[in-house]
Amino acid sequence: MKVALFVPCYIDQFYPQVAIATLEVLEKLGASVSYPEKQTCCGQPMANAGFEDLTDPCNTIFIRQFSGFDYIVSPSGSCVLHIKDHLHSSANHEETSQIKKKVFELTEFLTDIVGVKHLNSKFYHKVGLHQSCHGQRGLKLSQMSELIAPDFSKPQDLLRMVEGLELIDLDRKDECCGFGGMFSVSEEAVSVKMGKDRVADHLQYGAEYITANDMSCLMHLEGILRRQKSPTKVIHIAEILNAGL
Amino acid sequence: MDTETTILDRKTSSDHATLADKFNLDEPRVDWHDKTLWFIRKKRDKAASQLQEWEQLRAVASDIKNNVLANLHTYLLAFERNAQQHGITVHWASDAAEHNKIVHKIIEKTGIKQVVKSKSMLTEECHLNAYLKTQGIEVIDTDLGERIVQLAGEPPSHIVLPCIHWKKEEIGELFSHHLGTPEGNSDPQFLTAAARIHLRQHFMSSRLAITGVNFAVAETGEIVVCTNEGNADLGVQLADVHIACVGIEKIIPLRKHLGVFLRLLARSATGQPITTYSSHFQKPRKGQEMHIVLVDNGRSKRLGSADFRNALKCIRCGACMNTCPVYRRSGGHSYHYAIAGPIGAILAPGLDMKKHADLPFASTLCGSCSNVCPVKIDIHDQLYKWRQLLAQNRKVGITKRVAANTMAYILSHHTLYTFAGTAGRWLMKYVPFIISNRFNPWYKQREMPKPPEHSFARWYHQNRNFK
């Protein structure tokens, strides 16, 4: 199984430990992983701000870097969703559509493709799971509370396999954290208020760690936690799954 | 860069971000507003979950509305024909101004100076009250929530719950001022009774009633008006003249389709199984005059747009507002349009792209709205599409445009990207005040990420590349 590791730009630059954990989890579970070294960004920051027109070079780079693999795996629901929904190229239709089929967020890859039923991971902490919206509602990693439909959660299933991990309940299990890309600065007041409310929900149930499939949500929540001088930390789900594995 | 606003997009005193900033100055009030609306969302969840066929109902409702939009012309003409056969006068208005003129003309003929009106978002959209006022006609809104905001001189902040942003103590004060209730009395039952007495005087004296319309049935030419207070019925039954104002998208083909929409509407709106009153008006009673004004006001134009057409499926339940984490924390007035929240944010730019250019950006694109919507409007996808259109039409502020162009340039060149990342991390580490200062909106209430020594790419190159 030839897997390409797709590392979101901000993870590459600010959270390398998340990409390392993702790489190690995939390798420990038997995948042959390589990291196409000239990758940059999926293009989402520009596109969500209204400038999808400017993302052609990003698309070209992405297609060149990620063609020819069996799977493309990324520790981000948001970036994967962007590729699935918006990657386009007038020159490379076939490769583009292949990439869209082969790109997976880490937990859905582990659940649906690798078929993980058991993990040796160990993490002796109380953890709150933040359901990042693009992964949840976009990629359908978990059931959303708006729909009247059976409950499921791929990230939660994996976290339940981790020894010692105590998953806390939340009052609002799938409310947005308020990051939203440029929204986090152009709508600063609402963005921060949403983040503070999410943090408060996790803290009231004693979370030692807040985890998620997307580091962008966690970067925002971490900024708030650290400003509040809270001892609670954020940790990407890949880091938990890699702990003791 | 002398003020904080220069670093953000060209904020005007009335754009969403600025108004939301103001709303957030009183955090306990934001908490109260958020919890009040979340409570309604939870009520909706409970009511919806009691119907096993809920998702099927949504799908059917969406299909019916798609059929309506594909055949709107035919259904509208059928509706007109059937309504006329029952003695109703049908008017067509191409825009808000024409709508207001038609309504005024009807009122003018009667010589009536004061009219009652039940809830109608269409008349809000057309600013009918303000127009009639300039013509010397006073409109009394008879929906309790609408009457409250009317007395306060405000527009509604929510399409179903117009005064959801008002606390009962404030309503007590308002009533004390306007209706003469005892000062300090904020008992909801008492205040409602006082409003009832106040409104009854207007019901009794007004000979002309305006109503909105929830559904217009093509098959029968009847209109259906849903209220919890019975104010539409009381107004119409006591009046000599009934004017019903309806957007052309409110058509449904058959009466039996009400069995789908009435089940969805109140459950989605407030978590009730059905509104207290679902009143059918098919013909004027003896001696009464009945008019229906069919209003386009940008709807045909939207119908011609594949990307934005299906916003016309909206049945105005307000569920997208109750579920929206941004709406709950910014308040309806921050959208500065008759229809607030996610649905307002995709409707408003269709009427005036420049004036409402900020609204599609008042969202994190979380997608909750699209999934709570009883007629499955792809609201968050349309928000994304509006953003593209706004940028293409240069309606996006200079700061955002420069930021997007700069990012795009850097991310289009791997070497530059690597260099910018290294430089950024170095700056954050050694001269953090360049980034962590009061001009950076991120830093205002959040810490910046702690910069790591190296990027992942560098780590990979050093540790794995030659494996």
CATH number at residue A174: 3.40.50
Residues of A whose CB is below 8 A from B455: 12-13, 16
Q: What is the pLDDT of residue B11?
A: 53
How far apart are alpha carbons A96 and B84 in whole angstroms?
Answer: 56
pTM: 0.96
Q: What are phi and psi of B232, to 5 degrees?
A: -65, -45
Name residue, tokens 């955002």.
Answer: B400
- CATH architecture of the domain B51-155+207-300 equals 3-Layer(aba) Sandwich (3.40)
Q: What is the pLDDT of residue B3?
A: 35
The percent of residues above 70 in pLDDT, for chain A, comes to: 100
Cα A206 to Cα A32, A169, A231, A232, B229: the distances in Å are 38, 10, 11, 9, 45
Q: What is the pLDDT of residue A172?
A: 98
Q: What is the pLDDT of residue B181?
A: 97
Same domain, A94 and A173: no
**Which residue from A49, A179, A188 is facing B387, i.e. has the nearest CB?**
A49
Same domain, A15 and A89: yes
Residues of A whose CB is below 8 A from B398: none
How far apart are alpha carbons A111 and A118 in whole angstroms?
Answer: 10
Q: What is the pLDDT of residue A1?
A: 85
B54, B370, B400, B411, best to mutate vs chain A, most A CBs in 10 Å: B411
Sign of the dihedral defined by the CA atoms of residues B258, B259, B261, B266, in that order: positive
Q: How many CB pairs under 8 A join A and B?
A: 224
pLDDT at position A222 over 90: yes
Residue A87 domain boundaries: 2-114
Query: What are the start-end ranges of the H helices in B215-334?
Result: 231-238, 258-270, 299-303, 319-323, 325-328
**Which residue from A13, A23, A47 is facing B421, i.e. has the nearest CB?**
A13
Q: What is the pLDDT of residue B12?
A: 61
- Contact A194/B325, CB-based, under 8 Å? yes
Q: What is the pLDDT of residue B8?
A: 41
Last residue of a domain, one of A86, A114, A142: A114
Residues of B whose CB is below 8 A from A148: 48-49, 51-52, 54-55
The strand order across the sheet containing A166-167 reads: A166-167, A126-130, A209-212, A233-236
CB < 8 Å from A in window 7-66 of B: 8-9, 16-17, 20-21, 23-24, 27, 30, 34, 38, 45, 48-49, 51-52, 54-55
Residues of A whose CB is below 8 A from B441: 185-186, 188
Residue B258 Cα, gap to closest chain A Cα (Å)? 21
Same domain, A17 and A92: yes
Last residue of a domain, one of A114, A144, A177: A114
Q: What is the pLDDT of residue B435?
A: 85
Same domain, A12 and A100: yes
- For residue B305, give both structure tokens: 């747009």
Same domain, A55 and A149: no
Q: What is the pLDDT of residue B361?
A: 98
Q: What is the pLDDT of residue B466?
A: 59
How far apart are alpha carbons A104 and A81 in whole angstroms?
Answer: 9
Task: Tell me how many degrees the CA angle A235-A33-B409 measures, rounded to the nearest 5.
Answer: 70
What are residue B280's DSSP bridge partners? B224
**CA nearest B50 in A: which residue?**
A148
Percent of residues in chain A assigned helix, strand, coil, to nearest 5: 50, 15, 35
**CA nearest B447 in A: which residue?**
A223
- A188 located within any domain: yes
- A120 located within any domain: no
Percent of residues in chain B assigned helix, strand, coil, to nearest 5: 55, 10, 35
Residues of chain B with pLDDT under 70: 1-12, 466-467
Of A18, A48, A15, the closest CA to residue A184 belongs to A48
Number of domains in chain A: 2
Same domain, A106 and A6: yes
Q: What is the pLDDT of residue B10?
A: 44
- For residue B140, give both structure tokens: 């009394």
How far apart are alpha carbons A16 and B276 in whole angstroms?
Answer: 58
Same domain, A141 and A109: no
- Contact A15/B367, CB-based, under 8 Å? no
Same domain, A153 and A237: yes
How far apart are alpha carbons B209 and B142 in whole angstroms?
Answer: 10
Last residue of a domain, one of A91, A114, A137: A114
What are residue B444's DSSP bridge partners? none
**Domain ranges (residues) in chain B:** 14-44+318-392, 51-155+207-300, 413-463
- A121 located within any domain: no
CB < 8 Å from A in window 427-456 of B: 440-442, 444-449, 451-452, 454-456
Same domain, A238 and A130: yes
Same domain, A150 and A228: yes
